[in-house]
Structure formats: C-alpha cells, structure tokens
Amino acid sequence: MSKATAIAHPNLAFLKYWGKRDSTLNIPINNSISMNLDAVQTVTTVEFNAAFANDEVVVLEQGGGGRARFDQRVSKHLDRLRSRAGSSLRARVITRNSFPAGTGFASSASGFAALTMAGSAALGLDLSERELSILSRMGSGSASRSIPDGIVEWLAGDSSDTSYARQLVPPDYWQLIDVAVLVSAEEKKVSSSEGHELAMNSPFWPVRLEALPGKYVRMSQAIHDRDFITFGRELESEAMMMHTIMMTSAHMDGDAWRSGIYYWTGDTLALVQAVQEWRAAGLQVYFTLDAGPTVHLICLETDREAVVSAVNMLAEQSGRAHWSLTVNRPGLGARLTDAHLEAR
C-alpha cells in the first residue's frame, strides 16, 4: 500500500534514558524500562506518491514551536525508510497528538513510533517488532520503547542491531496506574536531545553511571514480582537522580552561563512535596518525571480514586485550577489503523 496510518502511545520511563553512547545512532548508555500510556496517543498517516515533489508534514492541533526542526527530523526519518525500501517517492505526513508536546509526555516517542509503523507499511515493508524498534530509535531514542506492548525494556546494546526494545510484561500483567498531572502546557525551553548532550557535564554523572546496573536489576525484579513498594522507591529515587543530573549540567547558552537545566515549576515542587505527605499518611503513591514539568503519580488500581481525589483537593486548596489530569494504564504498542487523517 502507498498510504497507511498508525497509532502509538508515549511511554513513561521508570528507569530513565538520559545520556547517549552514540548520538548519531541514538544508542543509550544504559538499559531503560518504561510503560506505554494508554490514555494519550499520536496518530500519523503517511502517503507516498509520485506526484509529490517534496515531503510535506502537516501537524494538526500543533502547540508550541520548533516546527522547522521537527519537519527536518521527519524528512530525515522518511529517508531511512525509503532507503530500506529502495524507494525515492516523496511523502505527505499528517500527524496529531492528543496531548501537548514538549511538556513531559514523550511526544517524540509516540510520534516517531507511529511514523515508523505507518511509513514502513505505506512502503510495503514487512518488518519485525525488533526491526521497527531499531528504526524508531533512529528517529528518537525513546520511540523504540513505544513499539512493543505494555511495560517495556530497552536494551542499550553496543551497536545499532543490538539496541532495541522488547516487552518486559504485557499490559494486563500488573494493574499499575499513572495519574499524570499536566501542570503547564508551555513547551520546554531545553529539548531532551540537548539535555542528553549535556548530561555528562554534571559532576554527579559517574555516581549515576555506577548505580544504574543495580537499579535495572532491582526494578525489573520488582515488576516481575509485582512488588509495589520496592518498585515505587526505585522509581522515585531514579526520577530524583536524573533530575539532579539535569540541574547540575552546567553549560553555556550563547554568552550566558547556566548552572543546569530546570524542568520543574513551582507546581511541580508542590506535587512532589505533597506525595511525601500523602505517603506518610498511608496512601501508597510515588512520583516520577521525565524531561518536563508534568508529574506522574504512580499507584495501584486500588488507590486510583484516592490519588485523583488528593490531587484535585490540592489543586482546589492552592488555587491551581489549571492542572489537567490524565489517568493511564499500561497500553498497547504501535499498530496500524484504517482511520486515516486528512489535512484540513
């Protein structure tokens, strides 16, 4: 077929991907673990046609900036797919997120997973899950994790062929809940790609590097054992470790020196502090954050209503009516759909 549409979900990293072994191939320094978020998604339609003189990218309901760079990344990724298929046809890409980009949801993960799935199908490529994960990684590292279903591990590998994601457990294995609290829809000023390049500027980088293998083993085992307390503690300490690296990655921004990257807002901190008090009062909930201000509150299904109620009460009492909540469960991986998008 020359036209195909795919759905993919952003993934939330439990054990983080921050820092690259190879920036060109997006090979990470460490293994990572994530969960596909079932309530948010990217839908992408790709059509190849001899009548198209150039690649065209249509972003529906686009928020934020960075369009020129995004278009270039899409076209470069299409070149990878064309090379694989032996095609020179140009493409029209129409894509839509159900969530704002650049806010701490992994929009590039779902975006490039959907682009890879739809683009390869439109070119008639018959690729395995592993091949799709590898190709998606070339567009955006974390996109490799949005290809398989459920809770996923990304094996860092030491080459392009050995760096790919695979399912750790299926979506229905464990009733984990992510109450994602979008505290700001403003697009972050420092992209994840830039942050990866600055990670090793932190003086704490060697400490993190030494800790990661043990964290990977403990978190993987906790997931398999459905051991929520061990999992939650590893999850929250990992989020703090990664953001410590970010906040101490000193760098030059033009002529200005910056001491680090600060994705948190005052609202982020309010939620982080609240989680400590809720847990002290007996509510089993832990937080994590990716590269953005959005706070992801992780609990079990049995505590979902209590966590949502606690967040809503905090928002009301502190005058934060702008907070937006999304409740996610472990979701499916990237897949094709017959419902094509149309440009408006």
Q: What is the DSSP string of 237-290?
A: HHHHHHHHHHHT--EEETTEEES------HHHHHHHHHHHHHHHTT---EEE--
The single-letter code of the amino acid at 35 is M
| Residue appearing with tokens 């002290």 | 280
Q: Which part of the chain is CATH 3.30.70.890?
A: 176-328
CA distance 265 to 292: 9
Query: What pLDDT sits at residue 193?
Result: 87
Query: What pLDDT sits at residue 68?
Result: 60
- Are the C-beta atoms of residues 95 and 44 closer than 8 Å to each other? yes
Residue 117: partners with Cβ closer than 8 Å, 6 or more residues away? 4, 6, 8, 132, 147, 334, 335, 336
Q: Which part of the chain is CATH 3.30.230.10?
A: 3-171
CA distance 54 to 38: 34
CA distance 117 to 115: 6
Residue 143: partners with Cβ closer than 8 Å, 6 or more residues away? 8, 108, 109, 110, 111, 112, 113, 116, 136, 137
Q: Is the C-alpha dihedral spanning 330, 331, 334, 335 positive or negative? A: positive
Counting Cβ atoms within 10 Å, is residue 63 exposed (0-12), middle (13-18) or buried (19+)? middle
Read off the pLDDT of each residue in 164-174 and give the average, rounded to a whole number.
98
Classify each residue of 212-230 as buried b or exposed e, where b means 16 or more C-beta atoms within 10 Å of its C-beta: beebbebbbebbeeeebee
Q: Which CATH number fits domain 176-328: 3.40.50.2000, 3.30.70.890, 1.10.3720.10, 3.40.190.10?
A: 3.30.70.890
Query: pLDDT band at residue 105, thresholds of 50, 70 and 90?
Result: confident
CA distance 109 to 116: 11
Q: What is the pLDDT of residues 43-94, one digit of tens each?
A: 999 999 999 999 999 999 754 445 667 889 999 999 999 999 999 999 999 9
Q: ∠ CA 285-287-293 to the nearest 5 degrees?
A: 145
Tell me the average pLDDT of the chain.
94
Check whether 172 has a pLDDT greater than 90: yes
Q: Among 24, 21, 23, which residue's Cα sits nearest to residue 158?
A: 21
Q: What is the pLDDT of residues 299-328, one digit of tens each?
A: 999 999 999 999 999 999 999 999 999 999
Q: Among 242, 219, 324, 233, which residue's Cα sits nearest to residue 286?
A: 233
Level-2 CATH architecture, domain 3-171: 2-Layer Sandwich (3.30)
**pTM, full prediction:** 0.94
Read off the pLDDT of each residue in 25-41 and give the average, rounded to a whole number.
96
**Beta strand 90-97 with 151-155: parallel, antiparallel or unpaired?**
unpaired
Q: What is the CA radius of gyration of the chain?
A: 20
